[in-house]
């Protein structure tokens, strides 16, 4: 019998990575397997969202005062259930939970990782059949093994991430994750129900031609941000242009495209949202980590995102992430705001 070994599944890849580290316990591989399993279950529901009574508001407001869609809750429950019953996670924090949860049983208390996630990102797009996603971030806990995870395990700066990734439920479903060793993308093969390696060692092109920002907020942005947007609009062929503007409203889909093709994604603070909209711990940090490993940069406008010391779970931040050269030009413009 000839077995096709050319296409590696996510599990095969994470296990192969472990073989390079003789002391690895396999816990991270187990955690990624659990995240992949949750994503596959969420994918099934996302795909039939137009068919069953799963659309629309769940009728509650989450901790940040936003409408909670039914799929947000479904996705959150999937992650909670799978990670709680797995053996690789001491606790979780999520956009949909007011506070973190320490799983607090003998096995979980001995797990070395905690996980933060945005179970469904871009959920405003569910009802209109536009790509949505999931974002996750993994830290090694800093409290003692054998005890329940505490808030200190979750409030670590992004630079301490062990792994970060996202799932995009799009024209195909993809899981992309980064460790310090690289960024790799896996596309769900529906015929075998497995994520299979499709994008190995992803590098973000240093210069791109795409800028992604909500133009509707233009007059609410700082002078520096406005200046950068104008520069994007003024690019000619001679200086690598013309640029193109793309903004889906699902950060996962927007940043995924820019990671692959080269580009910049911005969600600056506005007059209405002076602290920004996106959440530092489970939206900005994971993408900052992925982008840096892929050769790009991420800032909040004054500081590298990964160096920000978080003070609360649902902390917001302005966010700029993308191709290295574009980020450098952005920073020149942001100096205007200092």
Per partner kind, with CB cut-offs from 5 to 8 A, the member of ligand AHG, Mn ion, none near residue 249 is ligand AHG
Measure the CA–CA gap between 335 and 240, rounded to whole angstroms: 23
The verdict on 292 binding Mn ion (CB under 5 A) reads no
64 versus 200: smaller Cβ distance to Mn ion:
64
User: Which positions from 81 through 110 interact with Mn ion, judged by CB under 5 A?
Assistant: 95
CB of 306 within 8 A of CB of 271?
no
- Minimal distance, residue 98 CB to ligand AHG, in Å: 15
Q: In the window 118-177, what residues touch Mn ion (CB under 5 A)? A: 118, 120-121
Q: CA-CA distance, 282 to 79, in Å (whole number)?
A: 14
- At 42, which helix (H) or strand (E)? helix 27-47
Residue numbers of the site for ligand AHG (CB under 6 A)? 66, 95, 118, 121-124, 214, 249-251, 277
Bridge partner residues of 321 (DSSP): 265, 298
Q: Toward ligand AHG, which CB reaches closer, 122 or 296? A: 122
List beta partners, residue 211: 245, 264
Query: Which is closer to ligand AHG, CB of 88 or CB of 94?
Result: 94
Task: Tell me how far, at minimum, the Cβ of 254 lies from Mn ion, in Å.
Answer: 11
Q: Does residue 158 have a cis bond before it (omega within 30 degrees)?
A: no
CB of 105 to Mn ion, least distance (A): 27
* Total residues interacting with Mn ion, rule: CB under 5 A: 4
Rounded to a whole number of angstroms, the minimum distance from the CB of residue 226 to ligand AHG is 16
The one of Mn ion, ligand AHG, none whose footprint includes residue 250, by CB under 5 to 8 A per kind, is ligand AHG
Cβ(18)–Cβ(26) below 8 Å = yes
Q: Which candidate, 90, 75, 100, 80, places its Cα nearest to that of 252? A: 75
CB of 282 to ligand AHG, least distance (A): 9
- Minimum Å gap between C-beta 239 and Mn ion is 33
Give the Cα separation of 33 and 27 in Å (integer). Answer: 10
Tokens of 191: 């015929």
Q: Is 254 in the site for Mn ion (CB under 5 A)?
A: no
Task: Please tell me the number of Cα atoms within 13 Å of 57 on its side-chain side.
Answer: 7
Q: Which residues bind Mn ion (CB under 5 A)?
A: 95, 118, 120-121
């Amino acid at each position: 019998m000839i077995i096709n070994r050319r296409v590696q599944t996510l599990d095969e890849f994470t296990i192969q990575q472990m073989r390079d580290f003789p002391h690895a316990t396999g816990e991270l591989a187990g955690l990624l397997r659990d995240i992949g399993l949750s994503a596959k279950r969420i994918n099934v529901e996302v795909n039939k969202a137009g068919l069953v009574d799963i659309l629309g508001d769940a009728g509650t407001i989450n901790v940040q005062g936003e409408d909670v869609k039914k799929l947000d809750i479904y996705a959150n429950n999937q992650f909670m259930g799978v990670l709680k019953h797995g053996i690789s996670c001491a606790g979780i924090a999520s956009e949909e939970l007011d506070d973190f949860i320490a799983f607090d049983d003998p096995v979980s208390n001995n797990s070395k990782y905690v996980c933060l996630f945005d179970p469904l990102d871009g959920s405003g797009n569910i009802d209109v059949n536009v790509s949505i996603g999931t974002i996750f971030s993994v830290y090694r806990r800093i409290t003692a093994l054998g005890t329940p995870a505490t808030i200190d395990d979750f409030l670590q700066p992004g630079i301490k991430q062990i792994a970060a990734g996202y799932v995009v439920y799009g024209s195909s479903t993809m899981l992309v994750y980064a460790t310090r060793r690289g960024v790799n993308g896996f596309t769900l093969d529906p015929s075998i129900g497995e994520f299979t390696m499709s994008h190995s060692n992803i590098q973000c092109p240093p210069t791109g031609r795409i800028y992604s920002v909500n133009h509707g907020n233009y007059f609410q942005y700082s002078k520096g941000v406005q200046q950068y947007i104008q520069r994007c609009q003024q690019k000619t062929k001679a200086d690598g242009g013309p640029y193109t503007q793309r903004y889906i409203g699902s950060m996962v889909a927007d940043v995924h495209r820019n990671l692959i093709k080269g580009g910049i994604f911005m969600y600056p603070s506005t007059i209405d949202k002076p602290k920004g909209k996106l959440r530092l711990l489970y939206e900005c940090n994971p993408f900052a980590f992925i982008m840096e490993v892929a050769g790009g940069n991420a800032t909040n406008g004054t500081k590298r995102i990964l160096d920000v010391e978080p003070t609360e779970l649902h902390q917001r931040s302005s966010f700029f992430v993308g191709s290295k050269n574009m980020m450098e030009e952005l920073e020149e413009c942001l100096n205007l705001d200092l």
